[in-house]
Every structure is written in structure tokens, then in C-alpha cells.
Amino acid sequence: MITAVVGANWGDEGKGKITDRLAQDADYVVRFQGGSNAGHTIKNEWGKFALHLLPSGIFSKDAVSVIGNGVAVNAKILAEELKTLEDAGVEHSKLIVSDRAQVVMSYHMLLDAYEEERLAGKSFGSTKAGMAPCYSDKYAKIGFQVGELYADRETLMPRIENVCRIKNTLMEHLYHKPLLDPEEIYKEIKENAEILRPYVAHTSAVLHQALKDDKKILLEGQLGALKDTDHGIYPMVTSSSTLAGFGAIGAGVPPYAIQKIICVVKAYSSAVGAGAFVSELFGEEADELRRRGGDGGEFGATTGRPRRVGNFDAVATRYGCMMQGATEVALTVVDVLGYLDELKICVGYDVDGKITTDFPNTIQLEKAKPVYETMPGWKCDITGITKYEDLPKECRDYVERIEELIGVPVAMVSNGPARDELIFR
């Protein structure tokens, strides 16, 4: 059976922790999309880690960690992550990387940064990890798959020269930057090949065999439903599909094998980057939540940028769960809210004077104003509680109201950043 762990909102919901916890009982853990543009923060017996490419199941002693074909792989960043694990004494010999995954090249990162610079105040808030240029090249059929890194020079050079002709037109006439050198690109490809060589595999064949052998497979998504290329707050989205449905494609497994979809939901809202954010807070109220939130504050695991924060948005979350096909929800960072006298839940949007509970397209979303419902806070620290029944009544009321509004059962409540600070209902 396959279980997918995905995000309901803008990302940063706590998928890393949930995946790390569930990976202890899994045979395979698969990253199926995205790249090093977002980080999953893990806190366990080895320490605190921000993973960008590695599946959060890498800390499981028994599970095989898989970087699937839907991922954009930056070989040098992967090497840095592996070195961090080695320094902490974490074993990673069971890592495999799909031979069909796309490779992030240095020019992808350059083009990403140059475009953000060109757009200036109208930029997308990119992490400059090269995702848009890399995935653009994938669909333009001028990218490089991992398996192609091992081709001979006669095969690679015509393709490299073609890429350089295309990219250098942009470099010279749009960005006014130094031109790419085909020989340097060839050298980079061969360096990437050596970094990835120990891990390259036909991962979809491995996973199909695992299904035949009744193994447990865990799919790990990056970012959340509201950053999906098709169904998110376009154009302020990521460059890959963040939905569980894409897990079948990005991991190379049958769609019918994904039987459980755990949607990770934050007990308040947060987002990195630009885009519509209806329940956003500002000023001192936002600063206080940002300071207390997450694990050591609400700051991007990849960029370190302060996250935008807001009240819980039931409209956006219900939509995110719907698009993910959630079968259950893991509600995270509930412990953070213990300082509040009261909590606000966004239960509707006011768009041009009309109240809606449906998540609209971006044009209407930009005009939406939040409609709030207020609930009393529990005014105490809930860390250390292991049974749902032992949570304060006001906390349980908040969880159950969220459950009612989003229409999906809350199966897990996270009350701390560590792996074991998780209450199963």
C-alpha cells in the first residue's frame, strides 16, 4: 500500500516531521516532485536538520530513500546534504536516485536569479534554486535526465551546444550577462555524473517490485496545494505539481496503489514568497506569532526569509484538502497557539460584498477579505501531552471545529517539533 504525505496550504506545514515519524514503519520513502527550493525541517535523536532534496525518511534505519523521476536534482546540494548526515553519524546507504529525474544545472540557477532581478518589484519571490528554468527545459525537451549524464562526449556536445545557443540569446540580449561556455557545461555534467553515480537506479522498477512484495511505500510531497502549478494561486506558484495525484507520475507508481492521503495542515497559516494570502496578519500581532511559531520561529528552511503568517484559513484549507484528495489530516504546531486569549478562524471570503466559502481563482482571491469566527484560547502549554483526551477542552474544540470546517478527519495532532510529539486520535 502507498501512503502520500502532502501539504494543504502554501507549504511549511510540517510534512517533514510527519514523514519522518511515519517512515519508521515504512519500507520505502519517496520524494516525487520539486527540488532544493524548499526545506523540510526534521528534529530527532541525531539533531535538527533542514532537508532540501533528501526524503525525510532518510533517518529510518530500514527504509530505502528514493528521489523519484519527478524531482529536479541539484547534485552538488545533494552532496552537501549527505555530508551533513555523515557528520552527524546518520547512515544513508539505502538512497537511490531515479535515472529519469531532471538535473538542475548551474545555468538554471543563474537564469532564475537574473529573471528575479529583471522583474524587480514584480518578482515571484523565487528561492533562486533554478526550478522554473529547469522544469521549463524539461518540457521544452532540452533538459538533461540523470541517466543522460553518463553518455559519451559525442552524444552530449551537440545537445549542450544547442542549449548554449538558446540560453546565450537570453544572456546577451535580455539579461546582459556573461555567455555560457559549452566546454564548461560539459565539465559540469561530468562532475554531476560522478556525484550521483553511487545512487542511480531505475527507481520505478524498484517500486513496482516493492508493491508486488507487499512493501509499505510512503510518498513525500514538497510545498502545498496552494502552490500547485495548475490548482494553486497562479502565477505565484511553484514549477511542479504539489498534489498527491502527481505522486503516481513523479514516483512512477500506479495511481490506484495510493490508498491513503495524509494532508498536513498548520493550526495557523504561513507562507513564503509573494501571492494572495487572505488571512494574513501584520504588525506586532504577526511578529509575535512569527517569533513563537514553527521550531525556533517562522523562517524559511531554505532561504531564511521571514514567513508571512496569518489566522487559520478554513476556506483555503478545505480547498487544499479537496485538491489533494485527503483521507485524513495531520494538524501541526497546535502547541504554538497556547499564548493567545482567543483564536480567529477564517470561515469565508468577502469578495465584492458577496460572501463565499469556495476558494476562488487568483483574480477574485486578490480582492477577498476574511470573514472570521472567534474561539477562546486554552492559555497553557500543551507540549508533553500524549493523549487527545488530556488536551484542554478549548484546544479540542478548536481542533474539532477545524475538522468540521474542512470536512476531513483530523487523525494526528502535533504538539511539538520533535518526532514523538504527536498525538494519534
- Pair 268, 289: CB distance under 8 Å: yes
The grid coordinates listed for 37 are 527550493
Strands 342-351 and 369-376: antiparallel
Q: What is the DSSP string of 150-214?
A: GS-HHHHHHHHHHHHHHHHHHIIIII--PPP-HHHHHHHHHHHHHHHGGGEE-HHHHHHHHHHTT
Phi, psi of 399 (to 5 degrees): -60, -45
Phi, psi of 86 (to 5 degrees): -60, -40
Three-state SS at 277: coil
Is the torsion defined by CA of 319, 324, 326, 332 positive or negative? Answer: negative
From the number of C-beta atoms within 10 Å of its C-beta (0-12, 13-18, 19+), residue 408 rates as buried
State the catalytic residues: 12, 40
Residue 111 CA neighbour count, 13 Å, CB half = 26
The grid coordinates listed for 131 are 526550478
Is the torsion defined by CA of 134, 140, 142, 147 positive or negative? Answer: positive
Q: Within its chain, how far is the Cα of 46 from the centroid?
A: 22
Could you give the CA distance from residue 247 to residue 252 in angstroms, rounded to a whole number? Answer: 8
Single-letter amino acid, residue 106? S
Distances, alpha carbon 250 to alpha carbons 141, 172, 178, 267, 270, in Å: 17, 35, 34, 28, 26
